[in-house]
Amino acid sequence: EDQVTQSPEALRLQEGESSSLNCSYTVSGLRGLFWYRQDPGKGPEFLFTLYSAGEEKEKERLKATLTKKESFLHITAPKPEDSATYLCAVEGSSNTGKLIFGQGTTLQVKP
């Protein structure tokens, strides 16, 4: 069964304090790993797709990396506007078209 576990559940950072969010996954035949950002009262907003181990993607202060067992979302010098819940999801070859989501990491960045 495909599974996704995110850690930590919650993270508080000071503005400018870099850190990483973890997404551990178990999937039969990874087709894609997705990172989303969700603000309160909004739907998840797509950030990145990673397809194979060793792949990296960057967007502003965010950088996503992928290994065969986990993905990291690195946040460099975060700002208060980066506060949100970050969701990780996987699509496996046995569940084509279906995303399995983790529970998310809620990030709070204080000024």
Indicate whether 57 belongs to the interface with another protein (CB under 8 A): no
Nearer residue to another protein within complex by CB, 18 or 108? 108
User: Rounded CA gap, 83 and 39, in Å?
Assistant: 8
Q: Which of 91, 105, 107, 109 binds another protein (CB under 8 A)?
A: 91
Q: Look at the block and give the residue holding tokens 């084509």.
A: 96
* Cβ burial 18-33 (10 Å sphere, 16+ → b, else e): eeebebebebeebebb
Q: Which of 102, 105, 107, 109 binds another protein (CB under 8 A)?
A: 102
Q: Which of 27, 44, 71, 107 binds another protein (CB under 8 A)?
A: 44
